[in-house]
Chain A
Amino acid sequence: MSKLSRRKVITTGLVATAGASGLAAAAKLAQRYGLIPPDGGGLYGPGETLTYAAQRLLTRHSLAREFNPNQVSKPPFANGVAPLGEAFKRLQEGAFTDWRLTVDGMVARPASFSLGELQSFPGRSQITHLSCEEGWSYIAEWKGVPLSHILNLVGTLPQARFVVYRSIQPGWWDSIDMADALHPQTLVAHGMNGGGLPVAFGGPLRLRVPRQLGYKSVKYITRLTVSDSLKRFGKGLGSAPPEGGYAWYAGI
């Protein structure tokens, strides 16, 4: 017979009840303040939620480190991409003059911008790290339009919580929350290392999210959709990577 005192049983019961109700209250608060990622369910949900919530509470406004021109990796490493389709090749033959970025969803004035228009917008240039989840990285200078500038032009509605972005590559899409979408270093990039953005690095248009791993910086983007929820997109996990087993939030 184990030595179970009444006091121990009562204390354990009280601690367990307090713990369970504390967790329930924390989950409610987290839901309310948008601290639960779209892939926050399932086996690895608790870990992902802790990471995303901690990052949103601690690092919402932090700026990605910017480097000196002499730190730019020469040459940068272009990761392999899936074979580019017919639609891409047709646009490439026309030197991408017909490439367009459509912005729709919860915006006051849905719009579609040509590559030329985007290049004429006030730009920003920054030397940042691109880290791949595999472990390698390179530093490059990126030039582009801050995503916040485009979102201001189309006027996001107050209930907007996420920006979904799609590549011309079938099945490749992702999303970020408004903290990253409105972040000054999140760029719709069209230039790299002083020139245009090479196709191997996502040209003519790539989203650059420097506070997250490389796979969030989707190449060949053609459409942005502002939304209050990610449930209606794909399997409802927020982006294509979680459907293939990778985390939605890649700031780690």
Chain B
Amino acid sequence: MADSVWSPISASAMRATRVRSRHSAVVRVTHWITTLSFLALLVSGVEILISHPRFYWGEAGNVLTPPLFKLPIPASRATVPTGYGYVLPDQNGWSRYLHFQSAWVCVLTGLLYVVFALLQGHFRQNLLPARADLSWRGLSTVIAQHLRLRPASEEEAWSYNVLQRLTYLLVIFVLFPLVIWTGLAMSPAIASAFPAAVAVLGGQQSARTIHFVVSVSLVLFVLVHVILVCLTGFRNRMRAMITGRPAQDMERL
């Protein structure tokens, strides 16, 4: 026997195996590891941020430097003038340990994803938009459907529309690389070894500011992503990303 399967093959099992998986195993596993590491990066990132909620442009910046902008929130350091009469507790120690450990997990998972996605043709098949969809007509049709809050058709549950494809490509190939790059550019040791990677961004404080803006963009993406998952059928979408098969398929059998 070429492939010994322990369970007896029934007619329904035959049909179930014929139904392709919505998301490949690599996509599902890396999706959830990324989810966990992103949450850890977000919580620890916010903790680090509140020790100095001011942003600058250029190489150097501190409370004596005019900021590019500052967040109207209290800080966890008494040296930062915030206008609030109190100082939040300092949580930077564990936050920094967690931030960098989660960054390793996130980056290594991302590399695994990209390598497998290239090998499996995932980008080409599932994320690269068809040329026809990229026309103004194609784009405006999808946007109009969204604006009218038209529910997704059944075949749309098996594929991504052009807006989804463009968004995922932006997140995977622009936002994530940028957040990693700006994060590394803040490291004094990395800056010493790769000075050009800092200079191109405009300096270490510019890198920190871009890191913040890109992180906010990623949080907005996650919010919209989760809201759309809820609106289009939370159970079904979750099931597809956990088991690989949307529930509607099981019901049809």
Give A residues with C-beta under 8 Å from B: 1-7, 43-44, 46-48, 50-51, 55, 58-59, 62-65, 67, 71, 73, 75-77, 79-80, 129, 131-139, 210-213, 241, 244-247, 250-252
Contact = CB atoms under 8 A, between A and B. Distances in A.
B62 A138 contact: yes
A246 B96 contact: yes
A139 B59 contact: yes
B253 to A, nearest CB: 16
Given A65-B198, A212-B188, A137 B78 contact: no
B189 A251 contact: yes
B182 interface: no
Contact of A245 (B48, B49, B94, B198): B94
Nearest to A183: B192
B101 A46 contact: yes
A48 B101 contact: yes
A46 B192 CA distance: 24
A132 B48 CA distance: 11
A58 B193 contact: yes
A19 to B, nearest CB: 13
Contacts of A245: 93-94, 97
Given A137-B205, A211-B188, 16 more contacts: A3-B5, A4-B6, A46-B104, A47-B100, A47-B104, A64-B192, A71-B59, A80-B79, A135-B208, A136-B62, A137-B60, A137-B61, A211-B189, A212-B188, A213-B188, A247-B96
A180 B93 CA distance: 22
Contact of B3 (A5, A59, A67, A136): A5
B74 to A, nearest CB: 14
10 contacts: A3-B7, A5-B5, A44-B101, A58-B193, A62-B193, A129-B59, A129-B188, A134-B77, A135-B48, A211-B188
A65 B195 contact: yes
A77 B198 contact: no
A166 to B, nearest CB: 21
Which range holds the interface residue count of chain B? 35 or more
Interface in B184-208: 186-193, 195, 198, 204-205, 208
A77 B4 CA distance: 70
Nearest to B53: A135
Contacts of A246: 92-93, 96
B78 to A, nearest CB: 7
Interface in B204-220: 204-205, 208
B96 to A, nearest CB: 6
B238 interface: no
